[in-house]
């Protein structure tokens, strides 16, 4: 591959350059039409949680563990059937 420099963002990284119909394009900025996305840190919002019902002991145990993992920055994955109020 010959050297290519994106005329929009100046990218020269070979891993971010593609070829379509014999023409080079920049994968880094194509979806943004040349505009770089600015990273803005997001801060957690403090939202009070109130359920209109009681959790079963098993649900409460799982809920506590998920909240604990969240506070520690640990990702969690819950497997459950559709309609089981995972959201």
The domains of the chain are located at 1-35, 50-87
pLDDT at position 74 over 80 = yes
pLDDT at 32: 58
Residue 65 phi/psi, 5° resolution? -65, -40
Question: How far apart, in whole angstroms, are the C-alpha atoms of residue 62 and residue 87?
Answer: 13
| Spatial contact of 69 and 76, defined as CB atoms under 8 Å apart | yes
The confidence score (pLDDT) of residue 87 equals 65
- What per-residue confidence (pLDDT) applies to 72? 93
Residue 1 has pLDDT above 60, yes or no: no
Tell me what pLDDT residue 69 has. 93
Residues 6+ apart with CB under 8 A from 5: 11, 12
- 9-52 pLDDT per residue, tens: 888 888 888 888 888 888 887 765 545 556 566 677 777 778 88
pLDDT for 65: 94
Q: Which of 11, 12, 10 is nearest to 2 (CA)?
A: 12
């Amino acid at each position: 591959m010959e050297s290519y420099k994106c005329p929009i963002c100046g990218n020269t990284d070979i891993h971010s350059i593609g070829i379509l119909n014999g023409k080079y394009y920049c994968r880094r900025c194509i979806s943004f039409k040349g505009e770089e996305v600015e990273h803005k840190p997001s801060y957690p919002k403090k939202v009070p949680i109130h359920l209109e019902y009681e959790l079963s002991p098993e649900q409460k145990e799982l809920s506590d563990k998920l909240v604990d993992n969240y506070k520690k920055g640990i990702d969690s994955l819950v497997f459950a059937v559709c309609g089981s109020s995972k959201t």
